[in-house]
């Protein structure tokens, strides 16, 4: 069993990006500039946005963090997004999800300029991806592809089972794994909450991508010997042995599944860090285009 080490791989990708940005600046190019929009003070969202802003600083990107109270209206938030769309200094816009219930994430995402859609959530971005046209890739599936690439894991002809059909992880992951590209060319099955006999399906998987949002849901009895396990889940569970009283676990029961797998991503230290790499690569690309 080999751990797919998000700490090491993301450090490697970030050092490449840092060099690229230095070169871009030296050649008179634009410093990539990411604007992050945070509504409310959800602790998980604070942590995600904080690490994205810190990564910008680490790589020599500019960043702007816009914070709004939870009582901001949808119309007001759309106005803020429009300002960022028009601001020529901004290359990438990310609106941290989830948003408060009175604001539709679809409406907000639909109003981001697709040329600044570095999270890869806009319908135009996803439509282009679906058709195999050049586009930003959704940050988490992109990060997973970067991870597979780094370890030279060839999924051609393999049976990949993606569990979870969200627009930001599961569904785009199935498209990217099945397209005629590298990594890609896999035979993909998408499973979700209404799937019958999930275990029967996962037992035939060469690769499992778990994006469910249920702690330790995938157990060893669901996994074929030698399978590759990509755990997207980030779940906080109680842990009395920790000072904080909680810890993060994935959607895969790591201790149970790891001995059976050929490769596995840990949580934390796996896909989460790769997501930030995907986002930063998209932002650099956006800056080059602008």
The binding site for ligand NAD (CB under 6 A) comprises 140, 163-166, 168-170, 191-193, 195, 198, 211-214, 232-235, 271-272, 275
CA 135 to chain centre: 15
Least Å distance, CB 120 to ligand NAD, is: 12
Active site residue 119: yes
| Residue showing the smallest CB distance to ligand NAD in the complex | 166
Least Å distance, CB 169 to ligand NAD, is: 4
The CA angle 82-122-284, to the nearest 5 degrees, is 80
Residue written as token pair 């998980």: 44
Q: Which is nearer to ligand NAD, 163 or 258 (CB)?
A: 163
**Residue 139 phi/psi, 5° resolution?**
-55, -40
Other CB atoms within 10 Å distance of the CB of residue 67: 13
Q: Which is nearer to ligand NAD, 80 or 202 (CB)?
A: 202
Active site residue 256: no
Nearest of 110, 16, 29, 111 to residue 62 by alpha carbon: 29
Q: Which is nearer to ligand NAD, 211 or 287 (CB)?
A: 211
Least Å distance, CB 257 to ligand NAD, is: 16
3-state class (DSSP) for residue 162:
strand
Q: Which is nearer to ligand NAD, 218 or 287 (CB)?
A: 218
Q: Which residues contact 35 (CB under 8 A, 6 or more apart)?
A: 63, 64, 65, 66, 84, 87, 90, 92, 93, 94
From the list 91, 117, 119, 231, the catalytic residue is 119
Active site residue 52: yes
Least Å distance, CB 168 to ligand NAD, is: 5
Least Å distance, CB 86 to ligand NAD, is: 29
Q: Which is nearer to ligand NAD, 116 or 216 (CB)?
A: 216
Other CB atoms within 10 Å distance of the CB of residue 95: 23
CA 223 to chain centre: 23
Least Å distance, CB 48 to ligand NAD, is: 8
Angle between helices 43-59 and 271-289 (to 10 degrees): 50
3-state class (DSSP) for residue 208:
strand
Encoded tokens for 260: 């059976």
Q: Which is nearer to ligand NAD, 61 or 142 (CB)?
A: 142
Nearest of 150, 201, 207, 203 to residue 177 by alpha carbon: 207
From the list 52, 116, 158, 216, the catalytic residue is 52
From the list 14, 91, 96, 281, the catalytic residue is 96
Interatomic CA distance for residues 160 and 139, integer angstroms: 19
Instruction: Indicate which residues carry an active-site annotation.
Output: 52, 96, 119
């Amino acid at each position: 069993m080999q751990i797919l080490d998000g700490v090491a791989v993301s450090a490697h990708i970030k050092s490449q990006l840092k060099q690229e940005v230095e070169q871009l600046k030296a050649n008179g190019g634009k410093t990539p500039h990411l604007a992050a929009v945070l509504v409310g003070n959800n602790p998980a969202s604070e942590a995600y946005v904080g690490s994205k802003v810190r990564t910008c600083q680490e790589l020599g990107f500019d960043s702007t963090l816009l914070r709004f109270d939870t009582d901001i209206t949808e119309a007001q938030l759309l106005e803020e997004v429009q300002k960022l769309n028009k601001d020529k200094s901004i290359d990438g816009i990310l609106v941290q999800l989830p948003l408060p219930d009175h604001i539709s994430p679809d409406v907000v995402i639909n109003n981001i300029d697709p040329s600044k859609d570095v999270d890869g959530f806009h319908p135009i971005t996803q439509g282009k991806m679906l058709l195999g046209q050049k586009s930003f890739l959704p940050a988490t599936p992109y990060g997973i592809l970067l991870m597979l690439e780094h370890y030279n894991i060839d999924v051609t002809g393999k049976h990949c089972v993606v569990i979870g059909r969200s627009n930001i992880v599961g569904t785009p992951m199935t498209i990217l794994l099945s397209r005629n590209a590298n990594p890609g060319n896999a035979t993909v099955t998408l499973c979700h909450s209404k799937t019958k006999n999930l275990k029967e399906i996962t037992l035939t998987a060469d690769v499992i991508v778990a994006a469910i949002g249920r702690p330790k849901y995938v157990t060893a009895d669901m996994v074929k010997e030698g399978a590759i396990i990509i755990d997207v889940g980030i779940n906080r569970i109680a842990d009395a042995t920790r000072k904080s009283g909680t810890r993060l676990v994935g959607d895969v029961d790591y201790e149970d599944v790891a001995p059976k797998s050929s490769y596995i991503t840990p949580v934390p230290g796996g896909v989460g860090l790769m997501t930030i790499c995907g986002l930063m690569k998209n932002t650099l690309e956006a800056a080059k285009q602008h």
